[in-house]
Amino acid sequence: MISENQETDLPIYSFAPIADSQSKVLILGTIPGKESLKANAYYAHPQNAFWKIVFNLLDLPFSTDYQVRRNVLLQHRIALWDVLSTCERRSSLDNDIKMEQPNDIHSFLSLHPCVAKIIFNGKGSARYFRKYFADITLANQILPSTSPVHAIKWELKLAAWQIIKYI
């Protein structure tokens, strides 16, 4: 029997991608964390730096409105998705992922032929991508995770993510 305080592995499901026919770069996370799942929105944890980095580097006023956030990505030809479609996980940590299944990134790339580069939001997404999609040879780059768990200084994360300014 499981006590009330003991966490169990729960099924986790990815969101649909944010993308359109003009997307030139695909940013891949691993799979949504608990806060994102609750909000039904990518990178919803208040300490996750993803949206702050995007708005800062694109020199735009910050917005918490999810539709504005989605539109900013699309206007700048940035697609956003996750490597994994489903998994079991008890926390939001990539190290807790079990029984994972990948998203159909081959089909995504076929439907979005303008995508010329993949950016990984952290090493976890890159690791799962290489496990399931070693045959995809698009240019790619691993950037520091925007997760609050990946504790490096804001300035260093921001500097590493400068690449999105030039998409």
Give catalytic residue positions.
48
Write out the DSSP string of 16-55.
Answer: PPB--TT--EEEEESS--HHHHHHTSTT-STT--HHHHHH
- Strand order, beta sheet including 78-82: 78-82, 25-29, 117-121, 139-143
Joined together, the tokens standing for residue 103 give 């998203």
